[in-house]
Amino acid sequence: MEARAQLPASPEVDAAITRVLAAEQAARAEVEQCKREAERALEEAHRRAREIAERAARRAARVHHWTDRAIATRVATLESQRAALLKSAQAEDDGSALAWAVDRLADELTGSSG
């Protein structure tokens, strides 16, 4: 292995080393500043994502509430129509039964076999 040559100490070399060390320290400080800015940006992005998720959840809840009301209204309308149809069918059945009973009674009174 080759031995390194010793350079004589000089103010120029010392000044160059000091400049390199200062530049390295400044670069580290800038890297740390960039890290802090990135962390703040990430925290802000997470905050915005939470806001968006909360807003979406509120909107979804409103849509569910609206559709629940719309479905309940439609079901009530259908049930009302069903009740009306059943009542109408029952009335028709009662009328038919009454007509059949009258015909049957008439047959018995007249002696017809209908």
pTM: 0.51
Structure token digits, residue 31:
């890297």
- pLDDT value at position 78? 93
What confidence category does residue 114 fall into, taking pLDDT thresholds of 50, 70 and 90? low
The domain in which residue 19 lies consists of 14-84
- pLDDT value at position 73? 95
Q: Residue 106 domain-assigned? A: no
Cα torsion at 89, 95, 97, 101 (round to 10°)? 180
Contact status, residue 113 vs residue 107, Cβ threshold 8 Å: yes
Q: Residue 78 domain-assigned? A: yes
What confidence category does residue 104 fall into, taking pLDDT thresholds of 50, 70 and 90? confident
Contact status, residue 13 vs residue 7, Cβ threshold 8 Å: yes
Phi, psi of 113, deg, nearest 5: -105, 15
Structure token digits, residue 25:
């320290």
Q: Residue 60 domain-assigned? A: yes
What percent of the chain has pLDDT above 90?
Answer: 56
Domain count, the chain: 1
- pLDDT value at position 49? 98
Long-range CB pairs of 10-19 (<8 Å, 24+ gap) are: none
Average pLDDT of the chain is 88
Interval 20-52: pLDDT, tens: 999 999 999 999 999 999 999 999 999 999 999
